Structure 1
Amino acid sequence: MTLDFLSALMIGIAGAGHCIAMCGGISSMLTTTGDSSNQLRKALSYNLGRIASYTFFGAVAGFTGSLAIKSIGIQVLWLKVIAAIFIILLGLYIARVWFVLTHIETAGKYLWRYIQPFAKHLLPIKNAKQALLLGVIWGWLPCGLVYSTLTWALAAGSASQGAMIMLAFGIGTLPALLVLSTSVQSVTNLISSLLFKKISGFLLIAYGVYSLFIALNQIF
């Protein structure tokens, strides 16, 4: 299971460019007012809330997967096959080659339109508590990166393991958004560049293919 945690962490890191595109506006907004120490508290609180939501999703996915394994008799290895396929699709998505995951994001937008209004009541963000609540809400933003990683949590076999996988993923996304919050423009430009996205995407594809090969080899 340690390998699954490491994999989730690396997925979060590799998806840095996508994270900036999806959450960059909010992260930048947190550092436009107040002194530097207050800005850092708001940025950390926002990301803590966001990661808390991911961890909750992971627990739900892990519990659902465990029910499927115990009640329906689905093999864990088949769930890992599904997870590997989603990582390949995620790599194609991040590398800007094939955008099939946008259809899954679109499905999530139906729920998001009911959740998003709660975020508007927290703006503008004046303190760390508001930032934390905004992060919790923003964790529900439809995101192919999150949905793909959730398939790993689904194959974890338990709520606790699923939660840990999504916690590791959330930690992996943290550096890029903290860099954005500290306004290190040169690093932000690098992470947001098409070349970085291409390299990250193809690394994810390679890892997905490797994981798929391992899972299928154990099944057959």
Structure 2
Amino acid sequence: MTEYGFYLTAFLIGLGGSVHCLGMCGGIAGSLLFSATPNVGRTQLLLSYNFGRIFSYSLMGLILGFVSEKWLLQIQESLVYLRYLGAMMLLLMGLYISQIWQGLRHFEKLFMPFFTPLKILSKRFLPLTNPLKAIPYGMLWGWLPCGLIYSTLAWSMSAGSAIHSALTMCFFGLGTLPGLIAISLTTDTLKNLLRHPLTKKVVGFFVFTYGIVLLYLT
């Protein structure tokens, strides 16, 4: 799979997983507006929050991509294993997005205790008196335990370099934007489209098919 294939698939994973984001992260994004002072613009606040969140995703990809590039990929056999891992992650995420299998939710329960200190720290930025405070607030919430995020992160390690892994996670974050902005601004048409069973099935099928192709090429 080329790097462009990684980016497109990551974007679609984020887009298809927006339904999950609506329930898990949407409440955070929605409450963000209520925690702001009246003089802060909603658009600037949401953009700043999502910038911080996507920055954290990209940073995760950069860190694990660096580990993969500098150590794991130096061992020839590990490249094959990473590709298999990436393919398996795509298959699982395809099933997850299609809502055929929801096992990725178990990852969230495992990592939730580690997020408690970050959750406490995030309260220091409230109330949001200006958009700049929403950036670190979004960065902290970007580490929210989410099976979809961590599975995409594991898959991104097979991208081949730290930069490609970071960009893969960046495009994943961009894919989640429509859903989160829709729920924050109560855009019913877009929310209904993302929640539609056909949308989830189509995106899930695309991601699952990419996983099969990657397995075949490996």
TM-score by length of 1: 0.86
Which residue does 1:138 correspond to in 2? 141
In structure 2, what residue type is equivalent to 1:2? Answer: Y
Q: Which runs of 5+ in 2 are unaligned?
A: none
The size of the alignment, in residue pairs, is 214
Alignment of 1:93 onto 2:96: yes
Alignment of 1:62-101 (within 5 A): 62-66=65-69, 67-70=71-74, 72-101=75-104
- Shift, 1:8, TM fit: 1.5
- Shift, 1:202, TM fit: 3.2
Q: Could you tell me how far apart the structure 2 residues matched to 1:134 and 1:94 are? A: 27
Which residue does 1:159 correspond to in 2? 162
Residue in structure 2 matching 1:105, options 100, 108, 131:
108
Q: Could you tell me how far apart the structure 1 residues matched to 2:6 and 2:84 are? A: 13
Q: Could you tell me how far apart the structure 1 residues matched to 2:212 and 2:112 are? A: 29
Which residue does 2:126 correspond to in 1? 123
Q: Could you tell me how far apart the structure 2 residues matched to 1:65 and 1:27 are? A: 32
- 96 and 6 in structure 1: CA distance in 2 versus 1, 3 angstrom threshold: closer
Q: Which runs of 5+ in 1 are unaligned?
A: 216-220
- Shift, 1:22, TM fit: 1.8
Q: Could you tell me how far apart the structure 2 residues matched to 1:202 and 1:167 are? A: 22
Residue in structure 1 matching 2:41, options 3, 15, 38:
38
- Shift, 1:122, TM fit: 2.6
RMSD of Structure 2 on Structure 1 (CA) = 2.2
- Shift, 1:41, TM fit: 0.3
Work out whether residues 65 and 156 of structure 1, in 8 Å CA contact, stay in contact via their aligned partners in 2. Answer: no
In structure 1, what residue type is equivalent to 2:20? Answer: H
- 34 and 197 in structure 1: CA distance in 2 versus 1, 3 angstrom threshold: farther
Percent identity of equivalent pairs? 37
- Shift, 1:180, TM fit: 2.4
Greater Cα offset, 54-63 or 170-179: 170-179
Work out whether residues 90 and 155 of structure 2, in 8 Å CA contact, stay in contact via their aligned partners in 1. Answer: no
State the Cα deviation string for residues 120-176 of structure 1 (Å, max 9, x = none).
Answer: 233343321221111100110011111121123211232222111111211222222
Work out whether residues 9 and 207 of structure 2, in 8 Å CA contact, stay in contact via their aligned partners in 1. Answer: no
Q: Could you tell me how far apart the structure 2 residues matched to 1:125 and 1:193 are? A: 34
Alignment of 1:168 onto 2:174: no
Residue in structure 1 matching 2:190, options 176, 187, 191:
187
In structure 1, what residue type is equivalent to 2:188? Answer: Q
Which residue does 1:202 correspond to in 2? 205
In structure 2, what residue type is equivalent to 1:5? Answer: Y
